[in-house]
């Protein structure tokens, strides 16, 4: 049984690949909730939804967020009213957020709600929040402390990152399903999600890092010095790290036993292995379902071998 830690688009793609390779009883996908936030009175959980929609086959692949076949009447009307429109919520996507918020207010946990939303969308594999307790990523930057979605969406990652804070993490508990899965899993996969924004908040929840106990494999989100998507490379540079698969290996040193890197970075393998991390060279750009599945099989095979 494998636990996958995932954040946004890249994480969701590999999670979907793993779901093609492993039966539901052999996979738990634990998702970052550090980028959740309250917006328009709703509990918005972008990473949970990206993973859920991707596994359900209804993700909007053009935008990288939200649902396919979306309509935008709500946002049009909200704009007419002068409401806040910087965070785009499609009409269908809104239903996810309204139903989640309604049930959280009624006393259900984020785990409960996520399980039921997934079931309704016929997602057969377990998608679980990293925690049912609030953890909020705060970006400390040259523009001051900024809530994550404000940094990411409203400010388009323009502020220079000085430090990241996972507020609330110190008193958060792993979700019951993540806790149980970590107790009995044979391996953990860090999906190619942003190490600072997606994986770090999960590892910041007390107990998670210890439970992993070097059973983990990571897939580098950096290929040839660039992030496939998102601000990972920019943030690494701002934190004084030259973005590369080698830097990812250094970052995960002591936590992972293997790092899957792209063929473009094959020459970095010896330097990575010098950290005591096994370097596995694969095609890591998941351009279609077959590529997701191939990468997932490589991850599972590596975990079985190491």
- For residue 236, what are the contacts with CB-CB under 8 A and spacing of at least 6? 196, 222, 242, 243, 247
Stretch that binds a copy of itself, among 39-47, 152-160, 184-192, 215-223 (CB under 8 A): 39-47
Of 90 and 243, which CB lies nearer to a copy of itself in the complex structure?
A: 90
Q: How many residues bind a copy of itself (CB under 8 A)?
A: 32
Stretch that binds a copy of itself, among 16-24, 45-53, 92-100, 211-219 (CB under 8 A): 92-100
| Residue-wise DSSP of 14-64 | HHHHHHHHS-GGGEEEEE--TT-EEETTEEE-HHHHHHHHHHHT-B-TTTS
Stretch that binds a copy of itself, among 12-20, 83-91, 238-246, 275-283 (CB under 8 A): 83-91
Provide, for the chain, the percentages of residues in helix, strand and coil under a 3-state DSSP scheme, each rounded to the nearest 5. 45, 20, 35
Tell which positions 9-28 bind a copy of itself, by CB under 8 A: none
Q: What's the burial of 69, exposed, middle or buried (CB within 10 Å: 0-12/13-18/19+)? A: exposed
Interface pick for a copy of itself out of 21, 117, 219, 277 (rule CB under 8 A)? 117
Query: Contact between 241 and a copy of itself (CB under 8 A)?
Result: no
Least Å from the CB of residue 116 to a copy of itself: 8
What is the helix (H) or strand (E) element at residue 9, kind and residue range?
helix 9-21
Contact 40, 15 (CB under 8 A): no
Of 81 and 305, which CB lies nearer to a copy of itself in the complex structure?
A: 81
- For residue 242, what are the contacts with CB-CB under 8 A and spacing of at least 6? 225, 236
Interface pick for a copy of itself out of 74, 108, 162, 273 (rule CB under 8 A)? 74
Interface pick for a copy of itself out of 20, 108, 121, 239 (rule CB under 8 A)? 121
Of 41 and 270, which CB lies nearer to a copy of itself in the complex structure?
A: 41
Q: How many CB atoms lie within 10 A of CB 36?
A: 25
Contact 221, 240 (CB under 8 A): no
Compute the distance between CA of residue 35 and CA of residue 46 in angstroms, rounded to an integer: 7
Interface pick for a copy of itself out of 71, 171, 186, 267 (rule CB under 8 A)? 71
Interface pick for a copy of itself out of 55, 94, 161, 248 (rule CB under 8 A)? 94
Query: Contact between 99 and a copy of itself (CB under 8 A)?
Result: yes
Query: Contact between 80 and a copy of itself (CB under 8 A)?
Result: yes
Query: Contact between 112 and a copy of itself (CB under 8 A)?
Result: no
Taking every pair of Cα atoms in the chain, the longest distance, rounded to a whole number of angstroms, is 59
Query: Contact between 90 and a copy of itself (CB under 8 A)?
Result: yes
What stretches of 137-268 show up as alpha helix (H) in DSSP? 148-149, 176-184, 200-203, 208-212, 232-238, 245-251
Q: What is the separation of C-alpha 68 from the centre of its chain, rounded to a whole number of angstroms?
A: 20
Least Å from the CB of residue 34 to a copy of itself: 23
Contact 1, 27 (CB under 8 A): yes
Instruction: At 202, list the tokens.
Output: 């999960």
Least Å from the CB of residue 62 to a copy of itself: 17
Of 67 and 136, which CB lies nearer to a copy of itself in the complex structure?
A: 67
Query: Contact between 76 and a copy of itself (CB under 8 A)?
Result: yes
Of 90 and 187, which CB lies nearer to a copy of itself in the complex structure?
A: 90
Contact 166, 194 (CB under 8 A): no
Of 153 and 291, which CB lies nearer to a copy of itself in the complex structure?
A: 153
Binding site for a copy of itself (CB under 8 A): 40-42, 67, 70-71, 73-78, 80-83, 90-96, 98-99, 101-102, 105, 116-117, 120-121
């Amino acid at each position: 049984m494998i636990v996958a830690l995932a954040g946004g688009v890249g994480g969701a793609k590999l999670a979907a690949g793993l779901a093609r390779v492993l039966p539901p009883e052999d996979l738990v996908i634990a998702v970052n909730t550090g980028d959740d936030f309250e917006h328009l009175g709703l509990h918005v959980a972008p990473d949970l939804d990206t993973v859920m929609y991707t596994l359900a086959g209804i993700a909007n692949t053009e935008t990288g967020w939200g649902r396919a076949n979306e309509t935008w009447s709500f946002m049009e009307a909200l704009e007419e009213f002068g409401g806040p429109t910087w965070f785009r919520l499609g009409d269908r996507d809104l239903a996810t957020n309204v139903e989640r918020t309604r049930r959280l207010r009624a006393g259900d946990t984020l785990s409960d709600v996520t399980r039921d939303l997934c079931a309704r969308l016929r997602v057969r594999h377990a998608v679980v929040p990293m925690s049912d307790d609030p953890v909020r990523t705060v970006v400390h930057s040259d523009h001051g402390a900024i809530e994550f979605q404000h940094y990411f969406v409203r400010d388009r990652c323009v502020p220079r990152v000085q430090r990241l804070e996972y507020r609330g993490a110190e008193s958060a508990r792993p979700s019951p399903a993540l806790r149980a899965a970590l107790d009995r899993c044979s391996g953990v996969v860090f999906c190619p999600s942003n190490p600072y924004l997606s994986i770090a908040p999960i590892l910041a929840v007390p107990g998670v890092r210890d439970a992993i106990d070097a059973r983990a494999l990571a897939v580098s989100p950096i290929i040839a010095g660039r992030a496939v998507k998102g601000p990972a490379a920019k943030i690494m540079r701002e934190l004084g790290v030259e973005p590369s698969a080698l830097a990812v290996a250094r970052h995960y040193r002591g936590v992972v036993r293997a790092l899957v890197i792209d063929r473009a970075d094959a020459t970095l393998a010896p330097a990575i292995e010098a950290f005591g991390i096994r370097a596995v060279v694969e095609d890591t750009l998941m351009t279609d379902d077959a590529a997701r599945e191939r990468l997932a099989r490589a991850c599972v095979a590596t975990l079985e071998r190491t």
